[in-house]
Structure 1
């Protein structure tokens, strides 16, 4: 498709939609397309505008009479109808005028019924303009600060962190800190849009207004609720010449354990107390450990006697600052750096497993042992020990220079048969890669194969930990890699 073809398709989509509006008795006026929308209580006239990026963004709709429907969470800050949620952009369904107008009718019907069963999105931020202060304001548990003054202090990466503090008696224009106040707006049936809306809900508004006028307070932290959900917004406040208060929103985020784990997946609460040992923290084992921790597992034992070499960094989780560290210690350092709550929950064992007594101890004291050594002797020792104890381990390895990954449940669950032996690649054999100081050739397995194999291993590990295994014996998978060029 050429650029001219693209422009032609966009122009056709716009014309096609406008023709649909004409058939629905809309007329083009200076401000857009005006026409009737039927609803259960009668007919409402609306104004429809097609934005320049239509059909890739939906049309904008507002009532001709802005008081035709009450203000609600389903109105845009300028009074337009909030018709399309961010998670409803599939298929560009709004490009067809009849479907779009039916959606507008449904919006009015829901408004007439008080938005029963409404999804309580915590999107109060969108009703205020962005502040000129583009720093990120971070806060933790706000309950100790509720009804109190606080101080925001500069931190790393252009962030400001909350802490206790009282507002200064005299404003300091060059103060690197910002002073604020934490208040609770309670349950919000409709979004406030001005400081007057907010002030009317606060018992301490008179004192707060005085401090804002004196520039003693320049930020306000507001808690609010929609249904059972709690939200927070940070506002930049400043007095105006008209004796009012200008309000814009500050970029803010929660820095709490909940905020750091809410995206870990629905299994995270079940995994919190799980104990997993990872035998082998090389490339594959390091990414398995990282993904397990990100998924909610809080208790890890990392077992490896090897050290990080410069060449390991291509495929390994850790960076150059860990060269020379034992691999288990390097992986722990990386995980704790990215999640401080893991500091006391990761154990490292800086030697390889060699005795049955050690293996038995780990198998009995952990909910799952994952073998990522790709070492036949270690795999055999773990397998036989698990079989003896009547439990199961997970063993993962990359084979055929990264063309295949293999994940075995050992022994298989129930009476399932073990996976068949993996096929050896029939591609032209690549000359071995050798490195000074290494007694065996270096595997040319690419980094993306390591990460894909680690993700698959973690899926199986999580299934075993929550007693919903993906497969009783595991899986093998052949990765489709670009064809190799012959070495000249």
Structure 2
């Protein structure tokens, strides 16, 4: 029995096919074929013949469209899948207003595609050359900043655990060509195969090919693109020296990188080229997703006092946002019981919490030389005053009334900001306060504790354990990060208290959501 949703989609497809039929398309029940009128760049009107096939993902994805006859001799190059179907829209097009659902808009799009193709795709900056080759399973990593000035053979390193390949910036001299020895009587001897050393295997050929006018589909088109280097690359691939080719290229004003695995097949008579998924490891690429404020945060100095549950995630978030200068302060070791709410994992149990957090930051691939750790406590006025003088911001994640009072007192004397963060009422409320107050600001009143179950105690240290769940820890860290960034980039737009009610409380906290202290 046909389900209701299937009937709805079938009816939509039938109506769509019927609309193409009125535009002169034939329909054999599977594929539709018909004309598209398009404008050549020289002004001529041309009629092409196309083939349209509805796929199983329609109407949430466009149908497959192939050019059967463009109407005159033009070379079809970019914006095509490997099966020859056209790439007409980007994958981020809003499906709620999908243009392909209207047949006339689909045909208009094909006409524009043909016009651009005939013109050679002027001003097109899509750097996606890997889509035109069969895929290889290997992930290739490279540092684009390092390889910018390098051309020729470089060494690669393969991770035995994951199989990922890293293309280094270390140049490697390739083996010489075949040599012919001379006999004592002056006659030519046998040709000798060049000796291939251990460091001369599994190399990559790196070069810049400039502006790209055509995709690379196979070995022959790769050799055409390589130009004068093609012969040497062919030789090195055939003797098992080069396994990868990495090309820097341009499309209009954009730049791209194509990584390919190359090998011989059929007894070294043929060459196989496949596109590898590749990724740039440079700092430039790593900070692309850090947010617009990353550049402003890179030289700010932040001290985080308390790197337990909330504090560890605060450090992680700020580091990801772009802060690189930290002082982490906490006297405790990481215990197995901490892990469910802590940034660090099992492998770091037994390390100090500050060292464990720094190790996790190092795993992100950034320089952590600016992250200093102190297995210590802040208990004296001298300590607190010195800490504030040496940093642009202090974050107190200790949940200790004594530490909070001490740092708030120091903030009033040094006029440097201190942010305190905590989860309250078993994690149903998270709160951030900033000191000192500015102008006529006021903090929200302290939230009185509610009676609840007795806190559990952890064997081995006999400390009480709050039942605050991990989600509340992360929510508190996010709130503190928001307040910290506001202070560090000198926006100073947030009030002195941010209190987020995560579960309904007694009035006036009976509605989930944010409460704020009064602004200036």
TM-score interval for Structure 1 and Structure 2 normalised by the shorter chain: 0.7 to 0.9
Distance of aligned partners of 1:353 and 1:68 in 2 relative to their CA distance in 1, 3 Å threshold: farther
Distance of aligned partners of 1:177 and 1:404 in 2 relative to their CA distance in 1, 3 Å threshold: farther
1:486 equivalent in structure 2: none
Residues 112-146 of structure 1: CA distance to partner in whole angstroms, max 9, x if unpaired? 6765654x232111111013xx2322223453773
Larger radius of gyration: 2
The counterpart of 2:477, out of the listed 434, 454, 459, is 454
Distance of aligned partners of 1:418 and 1:114 in 2 relative to their CA distance in 1, 3 Å threshold: farther
1:442 aligns with 2:475: no
Tell me how far apart the structure 1 counterparts of residues 258 and 406 of structure 2 sit (CA, whole Å): 56
The alpha carbon displacement at 1:405 in A equals: 0.7
The counterpart of 2:331, out of the listed 305, 312, 333, is 305
The counterpart of 1:256, out of the listed 246, 263, 282, is 282
1:95 aligns with 2:101: yes
The counterpart of 1:463, out of the listed 486, 498, 502, is 486
Residues 353-396 of structure 1: CA distance to partner in whole angstroms, max 9, x if unpaired? 12222222222222221111111221122122112222322221
The alpha carbon displacement at 1:289 in A equals: 0.5
Correspondence 1:320-335 to 2 at 5 A? 320-335=346-361
Tell me how far apart the structure 2 counterparts of residues 187 and 254 of structure 1 sit (CA, whole Å): 20
Tell me how far apart the structure 1 counterparts of residues 102 and 476 of structure 2 sit (CA, whole Å): 44
1:124 aligns with 2:129: yes
The alpha carbon displacement at 1:257 in A equals: 2.4
Tell me how far apart the structure 1 counterparts of residues 162 and 110 of structure 2 sit (CA, whole Å): 44
The alpha carbon displacement at 1:317 in A equals: 0.9
The alpha carbon displacement at 1:20 in A equals: 2.5
The counterpart of 1:221, out of the listed 246, 254, 274, is 246
TM-score by length of structure 2 reads 0.82
- 1:73–1:190 contact (8 Å) kept in structure 2: yes
Distance of aligned partners of 1:45 and 1:416 in 2 relative to their CA distance in 1, 3 Å threshold: farther
SS in 2 for 1:341: coil
Residues 30-50 of structure 1: CA distance to partner in whole angstroms, max 9, x if unpaired? 872122334345343322111
1:159 equivalent in structure 2: 164
Tell me how far apart the structure 2 counterparts of residues 362 and 401 of structure 1 sit (CA, whole Å): 30
The alpha carbon displacement at 1:25 in A equals: 2.8
Distance of aligned partners of 1:424 and 1:34 in 2 relative to their CA distance in 1, 3 Å threshold: farther
Tell me how far apart the structure 2 counterparts of residues 422 and 29 of structure 1 sit (CA, whole Å): 74
1:139 equivalent in structure 2: 142
After superposing the two structures, state which structure 1 stretch, 379-388 or 251-260, moved more.
251-260
TM-score by length of structure 1 reads 0.87
- 1:31–1:47 contact (8 Å) kept in structure 2: no
Residues 286-331 of structure 1: CA distance to partner in whole angstroms, max 9, x if unpaired? 0011111122211111011222222211211112333333222221
1:475 aligns with 2:482: no
Tell me how far apart the structure 2 counterparts of residues 438 and 197 of structure 1 sit (CA, whole Å): 68
More strand by share: 2
Distance of aligned partners of 1:192 and 1:395 in 2 relative to their CA distance in 1, 3 Å threshold: same
The alpha carbon displacement at 1:268 in A equals: 1.8
1:75 equivalent in structure 2: 80
Residues 67-94 of structure 1: CA distance to partner in whole angstroms, max 9, x if unpaired? 6654343233343321121222542613
1:18 equivalent in structure 2: 17
1:267 equivalent in structure 2: 293
Tell me how far apart the structure 2 counterparts of residues 394 and 90 of structure 1 sit (CA, whole Å): 43
Q: Which consecutive residues of structure 2, in runs of 5 or more, have no partner in the other structure?
A: 176-192, 505-520
1:58 equivalent in structure 2: 62
1:484 equivalent in structure 2: none
Q: Which consecutive residues of structure 1, in runs of 5 or more, have no partner in the other structure?
A: 482-488
- 2:245–2:260 contact (8 Å) kept in structure 1: yes
- May I ask how many residue pairs the two structures share in their alignment? 474
